[in-house]
Amino acid sequence: MDSLSLLVPRARPSLPLPLPLRAAAPATSSARAAAPAPRRWRQRARLSSPVSAVAAEAPSVPSPFGGEEKEKEEGQFDWLDQWYPLAPVCDLDPGAPHGKTVLGLRVVAWYDRAVDEWRVFDDACPHRLAPLSEGRIDDKGRLQCVYHGWCFDGRGACQFIPQAPALGPPVHKNSKACVASYPSVVRNNILWFYPRADEEHRDVLQRKRPPFIPEIDDPSFVTVYGVRDLPYGYDVLVENLMDPAHVPYAHKGLMGKLRKKEDPGRVEFDIEGGGPVKMKIEEANIAGFLSEQDNSGYFRYVAPCTFYGSPLPKEEKGEEKKKKPPQFMLVFMCVPVSPGKSRVIWAFPRNVGVWLDKVIPRWYYHIGQNAILDSDIYLLHIEERNFAAAGVENWQKAVYVPTSSDNMVIAFRNWFRKHCKSQVGWAAPTIGQLPETPTKDKLMERYWSHVAQCRSCSAALKTMKALEVALQVASVAVVGFLAVAKGTLVTSVVQRAAVVSLAVLCFAASRWLASFIEKNFYFQDYVHAYK
């Protein structure tokens, strides 16, 4: 199967064949417009800084975007006139604020109990610029800065300044005491925000909405969500997700054997089962493109964040066959965080094997999905630096992409070059230099990049740590019991052996659990040479 099966769990049920996704349905989620609060001192100017690589039209594959005339008509991509995903709602605790960096912009998401909606603010208190994400929700449901106790309502207006005398001037009503509040909306169970807080953009949902995947909201489907911060840039992330040819090699030992494609004339085969991947680029424009893959599904890129589709073959055409909707989909949200850093939010809706979600916890799926991400993190981190060393204008010369399996990568690089000048339009000042490469245990760490952001994995980790301590206490207690009961309750050799065995078993189980926790929730190296 030549597919973009990245992040798909290794064990999955047999799935029927899907059809292309229908046109997006109208929005059903509740939306909130930003309050007319003035923006704080740091202006959200569109700044450009060098990124990891550039797009250039490969000589072996024609550009899907047409000539220069069409390019001029379509103009440049406006990075600030887009919706950006923050996190799946299931991973957001309504009792606490959550800090995120998107497009170089530090924001805080919090739940406003007064209207039962999520809000997105600048992550800086207007008083002394302390991070509001380190604050709390007070007893009145307001966002409170824990540095000096200033409180803000859902519109970003300051409601209380403890240091201001009750009978003094109402300094909290000054416009300088307000926090910039961004338009936000929950769609497909994911919180999105629009990175402009000016008055003119408060009704942006009337004009522009985030992408919508009908299957995620379909009650006959179940969806597994996940999120992971990654130590490489946005463009490298998107490019990697659009590259099905790397799956059997970079993820060897994790994805299972992919069946070999028929390739007349081929005399050499490899054990990974790689082969040609035919794909055709259609509907390419400034908004993205569609990739139809030969008898193996489709994928659509909706700029700048959303990449979705199905890796499975389509139904055969014919009047005697009734077309069925997709029964398994891959949905990825690719978030530019800062130069050299990105975030992927994934959602895998399916309407088969629904019962599995009733017995398999979400954190168990994340173990396999994090292992898949780990297996090419170092490759992509170094690849990004090689692209940067080659120069932003030399992507075409630096790479060699002669086969159709790279068509989506080429289409994305062409889009990135022609419509974005190979640069992300950061919403805040960013350092245009890639960060230094850390050691692999920091590069591939899982706790801060995933576990701390995932309520399911955090709860599982807490439970497992408690179980580990309980096993250690039990092993000591059993040995103590043997010492106290020697010659009284435990009289035979068999009884003593059983008690000793129980103590050893408890201790061994605690050690195994400690190793399991370390590998799956903190760090595990992926050595390609031994896969």
Q: What is the mean pLDDT of residues 81-107?
A: 94
Separation of alpha carbons 221 and 327, rounded Å = 8
Q: Looking at 179, 206, 233, which one is the last position of a domain?
A: 206
Domain match, 292 and 437 both = yes
Is the pLDDT score of 490 beyond 90?
A: no
Q: Please say if the pLDDT value at position 486 is more than 70.
A: no
Do 258 and 273 contact (CB within 8 A), yes or no?
yes
Percent of the residues in the chain that have a pLDDT greater than 70, as a whole number? 76
Return the percent helix, strand and coil in the chain, to nearest 5.
30, 20, 50
- Asked whether 36 and 188 are in contact (CB, 8 A), the reply is no
For 378, list phi and psi in degrees, rounded to 5. -65, -40
> What CATH number does the domain containing 137 carry?
2.102.10.10
Q: Please give the pLDDT value at position 247.
A: 87
In a domain, 55, yes or no: no
Is 492 contained in some domain? yes
Per DSSP, what are the bridge partners of residue 48? 425
Asked whether residue 300 falls in the same domain as residue 151, the answer is: no
Average predicted confidence (pLDDT) for the chain? 79
Same domain membership, residue 215 and residue 200 = no
Higher pLDDT, 262 or 336: 336
From 42-51, 131-140, 396-405, the region with the lowest mean pLDDT = 42-51
Domain at 279, CATH number = 3.90.380.10
Q: Judge contact between 467 and 513, C-beta under 8 A.
A: yes
Higher pLDDT, 237 or 220: 237
pLDDT at 68: 41
d(CA 205, CA 192): 11
DSSP run (H or E) holding 509: helix 493-521
CB of 188 within 8 A of CB of 213? yes
pLDDT in tens, 424-465: 999 887 766 777 777 667 777 888 888 888 888 889 999 998
Q: Is residue 103 predicted with pLDDT exceeding 60?
A: yes
Confidence of residue 12 (pLDDT cuts 50, 70, 90): very low
Residue 40 belongs to some domain of the structure? no
Is the pLDDT reported for residue 30 higher than 50? no
Q: Which of 441, 476, 497 is the last residue of a domain?
A: 441
Within 8 A by CB and 6+ apart from 65, the residues are: 71, 284, 285, 414, 415, 418
- Considering the domain architecture, whether residues 288 and 399 belong to the same structural domain is answered as yes
- 242/300 same-domain check: yes
Confidence band of 5 (pLDDT split at 50, 70, 90): very low
Average pLDDT over every residue of 32-59:
37
Q: Kindly tell me the sign of the dihedral angle through the C-alpha atoms of 58, 61, 63, 68.
A: positive
Task: Record the pTM.
Answer: 0.75
Listed residue (10, 445, 456, 521) closest to 225, CA to CA? 456
483, 433: one domain = no
193 and 249 fall within a common domain: no
Is residue 420 domain-resident?
Answer: yes
Direct distance between the N- and C-terminal alpha carbons of the chain, in angstroms, rounded to an integer = 20
In degrees and rounded to multiples of 5, residue 296 shows phi and psi of -145, 40
Q: Does residue 399 share a domain with residue 360?
A: yes
> What would the mean pLDDT of 279-286 be, rounded to a whole number?
91
DSSP state string for 419-445: HHTT--EESS---SSPPPP--HHHHT-
* Residues 299 and 331: beta-carbon distance below 8 Å: no
Please give the pLDDT value at position 100. Answer: 94
Q: Which of 31-40, 89-98, 223-232, 467-476 has the lowest mean pLDDT?
A: 31-40
CB atoms within 10 A of CB 80: 17
How many structural domains are present in the chain?
A: 3
Condensed to tens digits (0 to 9), the pLDDT of residues 291-323 reads: 987 767 889 999 999 999 987 765 544 444 455
Q: Is residue 235 part of a domain?
A: yes
If one counts every other C-beta atom within 10 angstroms of the C-beta of residue 222, the result is: 18
3-state secondary structure at position 59: coil
3-state class (DSSP) for residue 338: strand
CA-to-CA distance for 262 and 272, rounded, in angstroms? 15
The reported pLDDT for the residue numbered 440 is 65
Domain enclosing residue 113, as ranges = 84-206
The confidence score (pLDDT) of residue 74 equals: 62
Q: Based on the fold, state whether residues 226 and 185 are members of the same structural domain.
A: no
Q: According to the model, what pLDDT value does residue 222 have?
A: 92
Integer Cα distance of 343 and 107 in angstroms: 15
**What is the spatial distance between Cα 198 and Cα 194, in angstroms, rounded to a whole number?**
11
Query: Residue 273 has what pLDDT?
Result: 76
Least confident of 59-73, 93-107, 465-479: 59-73
* 447 within a domain of the structure (yes/no): no
* Residue count of the chain: 531
In a domain, 33, yes or no: no
Q: Are residues 155 and 180 in the same domain?
A: yes
Q: Is the pLDDT of residue 98 over 90?
A: yes
If you average pLDDT over each of 92-96, 472-476, 506-510, which comes out highest? 92-96
Whether 94 is in a domain gets the answer yes
The pLDDT tens digits of the residues spanning 362-389 come to 988 998 898 899 888 999 999 999 988 8
Same domain, 238 and 376: yes
* Mean pLDDT value across residues 339-349: 94
Q: Which of 411, 441, 471 is the last residue of a domain?
A: 441
Are residues 431 and 305 part of one domain? yes
Q: Answer whether residue 256 shows pLDDT above 80.
A: no
